[in-house]
């Protein structure tokens, strides 16, 4: 086994080991699975399933049948009683139901969207969410989420440029109350909330500088692949310094932020509820958990401090955004909401933000099938990168025609003297004017574009619910073959199979044309097989793009092969050997290699 083969095998095992490490379940996933198995055992034994303790974050308001007279003497004590009243605000985009229990938004339905099973898409509903102020008044802990507000308003539908407001008031007395004013405009995803706290400064302790805003929700499954949905759902936030960050998307996480925030987002894969404040949140404790229930994506909790003045009434202006994580829609809000969409990091994000998104939007304007849009996008990308592909292939062709001479050097020198072998090989490269890394650099330059699409397509809202050929939904995996789970796999994606087979075909062709032999011949087959298991549950749109990329790569190599004559290349390299040394341009790689070999020889001479 020569050194190159050994290095190749080490890299393959390193990739395999890294893949198994990265794909192993997190501690939260293990706990979730254990809770699920415990519940299943109880069901089989005829017992009710265990409840996840985290579900208690959804506060349930109860209406006692009898009034406790002692409650009436406490601040806002009478607000514990009363019948629930729900007022509906509706426009072309959303249906928001506001309840008198807590004066909060009880549910939001997006009118133009559906769940993966065709049911109405509701961001959150009922007592699975909470929203309100927490503060101390006259020695009593007050949670407005549990109290009954009053309102004389009725349901309203607004359209176009119309605007409608409704008010809910939590009364202590005529001079002391909390009033919520919700305002909805036509054709908008935003619901404004103005909070007016009148006279509270006379109830709370004089040294209190902040009150707490408590917001929480249990968000249910909306996509076919609930695991994939969980892995792209978390709490995002923006600081006053314009930094956008988030809690972990792949597991339970919590964070105490001692900095001012401008907005907090409860993000699911393709939809978000975002709460912003004109004056900002002084600080916040954020928490995200994964529940055992298979249909629950995650449980979110945010406790944010609001500045409070004990010298005057306090007003707060908030805004809820209830809508899709569609790049153009979020960017149009002019508050950096679009940064909750994961476009990758570094060069990948720049490529997606400044190249991929504009080109995709341009193609989308022609109202074609998204399968055709992806096809055209792939052709354009391959066309732009063709010069690099050609240069890479030409460099590999030079290495291919030199291989017989390299084999002769190896047979003459042997494997025992690695330094001498390397020197003789570098001498041949220098004489022929060949850079041994010339085929790698163009591939490295292309790599960010390939990885950028790995982030772009799984987060592309436009693919949601869009069909193409046999694929019913390009935003999730196509599963024509399903079976009981084996090692966590319960389906086979046909688009992923096509991608894998085409990549294997390209690898075979490369091996055949490059003259690779021995064990190195089989190393290239490992990566497509590894990626099959990795990408099997990824969106069909992503696998479709990689399939097209592999097809065009194969066709490009066939076309280039017909124009590249190995005999002419060899003749040119032989001509380079005859040129004077002074006329030969030395590559930086060759210069560095020669300098390294001189240093090694010098150190060896000293010994």
Element (H, E) at 281: strand 271-281
At residue 166, φ and ψ (nearest 5 deg) are -130, 150
Measure the CA–CA gap between 167 and 87, rounded to whole angstroms.
10
CA triplet 159, 160, 161: central angle to 5 degrees? 110
* Cβ proximity of 33 and 25 under 8 Å: yes
CA distance 586 to 591: 7
pLDDT recorded at residue 119? 94
Q: What pLDDT is attached to residue 20?
A: 45
pLDDT at residue 495 in the model:
92
pLDDT for 402: 74
Phi then psi dihedrals of residue 347, to 5 deg:
-60, -35
538 CB-near residues (< 8 Å, 6+ apart): 228, 458, 477, 493, 496
The pLDDT averaged over each successive group of 10 residues in the chain (607 residues) is 48 51 52 53 42 38 51 73 92 96 95 93 89 88 92 94 95 90 96 94 86 94 92 95 93 93 96 95 95 88 93 94 96 94 90 93 93 94 84 75 73 70 72 66 77 92 93 89 76 90 85 64 77 88 93 86 74 69 53 56 56
Task: State both tokens at 408.
Answer: 């002769």
- Classified as helix, coil or strand, 199 is coil
- The span from the CA of 336 to the CA of 342, in Å, is 13
Q: What is the pLDDT of residue 562?
A: 78
Contact in structure between 402 and 428 (CB atoms under 8 Å): yes
Tell me, what's the pLDDT at 378?
92
Phi (first) and psi of residue 367, to 5 degrees? 55, 45
**pLDDT at 363 (0 to 100):** 94
What CA–CA distance (Å, rounded) separates 573 from 576?
5
Instruction: Measure the CA–CA gap between 237 and 287, rounded to whole angstroms.
Output: 12
- Distance of alpha carbon 116 from alpha carbon 464, whole angstroms: 9
Per-residue pLDDT, 174: 85
Please tell me the pTM assigned to this model: 0.79
- CB 106 within 8 Å of CB 98: yes
- d(CA 95, CA 149) in angstroms, rounded, equals 21
CB burial of residue 2 (10 Å; 0-12, 13-18, 19+): middle
Quick one: 141 exposed, middle or buried, by C-beta within 10 A (0-12, 13-18, 19+)? Answer: exposed
């Amino acid at each position: 086994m020569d050194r190159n083969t050994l290095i190749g095998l080490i890299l393959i095992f390193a990739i395999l080991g890294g893949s198994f490490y990265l794909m192993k379940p997190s501690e939260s996933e293990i706990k979730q699975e254990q809770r699920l198995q415990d519940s299943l055992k109880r069901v089989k034994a005829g017992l009710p399933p265990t409840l996840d303790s985290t579900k208690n974050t959804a506060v349930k308001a109860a209406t006692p049948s009898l009034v406790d007279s002692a409650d009436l003497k406490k601040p806002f004590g009478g607000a514990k009683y009363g019948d629930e009243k729900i007022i509906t605000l509706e426009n072309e985009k959303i249906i928001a139901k506001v309840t008198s229990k807590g004066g909060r938004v009880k549910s939001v339905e997006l009118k133009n969207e559906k769940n993966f099973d065709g049911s109405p898409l509701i961001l959150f509903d009922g007592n699975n969410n909470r929203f309100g102020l927490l503060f101390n008044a006259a020695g009593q802990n007050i949670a407005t989420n549990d109290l009954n507000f009053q309102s004389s308003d009725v349901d309203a539908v607004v359209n176009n440029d119309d605007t409608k407001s409704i008010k809910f008031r939590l009364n202590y007395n005529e001079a002391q109350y909390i009033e919520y004013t919700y305002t909805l405009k036509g054709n908008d995803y935003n619901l404004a909330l103005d909070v007016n706290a009148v006279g509270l400064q006379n109830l709370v302790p004089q040294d209190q500088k902040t009150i707490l805003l408590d917001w929480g929700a249990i968000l249910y499954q909306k996509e076919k692949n609930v695991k994939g949905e969980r892995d792209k759902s978390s709490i995002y936030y923006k600081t006053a310094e314009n930094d956008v960050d988030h809690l972990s998307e792949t597991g339970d996480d919590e964070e105490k932020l001692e900095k001012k925030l401008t907005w907090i987002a409860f993000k699911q894969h393709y939809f978000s509820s975002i709460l912003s404040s004109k004056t900002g949140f002084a600080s916040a404790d954020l928490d995200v958990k994964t529940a055992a229930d298979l249909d629950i994506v995650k449980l979110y909790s945010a406790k944010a401090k609001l500045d409070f003045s004990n010298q005057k009434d306090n007003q707060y202006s908030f805004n809820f955004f209830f809508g899709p994580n569609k790049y153009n829609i979020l960017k149009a809000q002019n508050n950096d909401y679009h940064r909750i969409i994961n476009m990758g990091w570094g060069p990948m994000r720049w490529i997606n933000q400044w190249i991929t998104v504009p080109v995709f939007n341009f193609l989308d304007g022609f109202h074609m099938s998204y399968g055709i849009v992806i096809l055209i996008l792939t052709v354009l990308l391959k066309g732009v990168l063709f010069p690099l592909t050609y240069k890479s292939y030409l460099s590999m062709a030079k290495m291919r025609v030199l291989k017989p001479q390299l084999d002769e050097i190896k047979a003459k020198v042997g494997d025992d003297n690695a330094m001498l072998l390397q020197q003789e090989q570098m001498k041949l490269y220098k004489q022929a004017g060949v850079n041994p890394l010339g085929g790698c650099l163009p591939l490295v330059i292309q790599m960010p574009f390939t990885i950028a699409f790995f982030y772009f397509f799984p987060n592309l809202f436009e693919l949601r619910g869009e069909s193409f050929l046999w694929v019913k939904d390009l935003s999730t995996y196509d599963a024509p073959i399903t079976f009981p789970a084996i090692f966590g796999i319960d389906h086979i994606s046909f688009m992923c199979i096509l991608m894998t087979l085409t990549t294997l075909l390209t690898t075979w062709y490369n091996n055949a044309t490059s003259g690779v032999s021995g064990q190195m011949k089989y190393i290239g087959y490992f990566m497509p097989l590894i990626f099959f298991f990795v990408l099997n549950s990824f969106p069909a749109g992503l696998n479709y793009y990689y399939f097209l990329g592999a097809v065009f790569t194969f066709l490009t190599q066939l076309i280039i092969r017909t124009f590249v004559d190995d005999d002419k290349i060899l003749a040119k390299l032989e001509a380079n050997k005859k040129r004077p040394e002074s006329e030969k341009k030395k590559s930086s790689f060759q210069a560095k290699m020669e300098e390294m070999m001189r240093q090694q020889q010098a150190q060896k001479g000293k010994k």
